[in-house]
Each structure stands twice: as C-alpha cells, then as structure tokens.
Amino acid sequence: GAGVSQTPSNKVTEKGKYVELRCDPISGHTALYWYRQSLGQGPEFLIYFQGTGAADDSGLPNDRFFAVRPEGSVSTLKIQRTERGDSAVYLCATKRGQGKSDTQYFGPGTRLTVL
C-alpha cells in the first residue's frame, strides 16, 4: 500500500514568511510524529499526535512552530516568521498504534530552505 507522503518535497522561502508542511499518513495509522533533521545530524523529535490531540509537543523549539491534526489523519506543521536556522529536512513518521513494538514508517521529508 501507499506509504507516508509529504508535500511539498522542497520549499524555499524568505526570512519572516509563513510556511505549512503537510503529512499524509499510512491509512489506519493513529500515531503521527514530526522530526527535524539538520544538515549532518540525526533527526530530532518535534511533536507527537495520538489521534487528533498532540500528546507530546516538548520538542517544538519555540512558539513559532505549531502543528495540527484536526481529523486524526493528515497533519500540518506550521512555522511562523521563519528564520534561516529553521532550514532543515522536516520528517513525518506514522505507526499503527501505541505498542512499543510498532514500527514508525517515515515519509521522504520536506526540505525547507529559508533565505
């Protein structure tokens, strides 16, 4: 079946602009995670949804970052007043349930470049 999809694949924006990044999960996956991967580093956790609610947003770096999942499926990561330091690959991962053995499946990512 279809995997996790993310759009756009690339986004170039100017400093101070607002951007939205979209994640479409695998059908039936209730858990959804956002990670950020800066150049030369491993991905870092941003936020986790179980269903519609954000169960853990401790990884969001500041209040310019916000994410929603209104119907428990598609999620949007929103970044206000973008800064050059926000440039990174933003990854979405989903898994079937809350079990520790469930695998997180990653999307291809959105490469964000802030000029």
Partner 1 sequence: AQSVTQLDSHVSVSEGTPVLLRCNYSSSYSPSLFWYVQHPNKGLQLLLKYTSAATLVKGINGFEAEFKKSETSFHLTKPSAHMSDAAEYFCVVSEPAAGNKLTFGGGTRVLVKP
Kindly list the residues in this chain that would bind partner 1 in the complex (CB under 8 A): 31, 33, 35, 40-45, 48, 50, 55-56, 59, 91, 93, 95, 98, 100-109
Contacts of 33 (CB under 8 A, 6+ apart): 45, 46, 47, 48, 49, 92, 93, 94, 95, 104
User: Least Å distance between CB 81 and partner 1?
Assistant: 26
The residue (of 44 and 83) whose beta carbon lies closer to partner 1 is 44
User: Least Å distance between CB 106 and partner 1?
Assistant: 4
User: Least Å distance between CB 50 and partner 1?
Assistant: 8
- Under a CB-based contact definition with an 8 Å cutoff, are residues 75 and 93 in contact? no
User: Least Å distance between CB 28 and partner 1?
Assistant: 17
Q: How many CA atoms lie within 13 A of 47 on its CB side?
A: 21
Residue type, 61: P
Extract the tokens encoding 19. Answer: 């951007």
The residue (of 62 and 101) whose beta carbon lies closer to partner 1 is 101
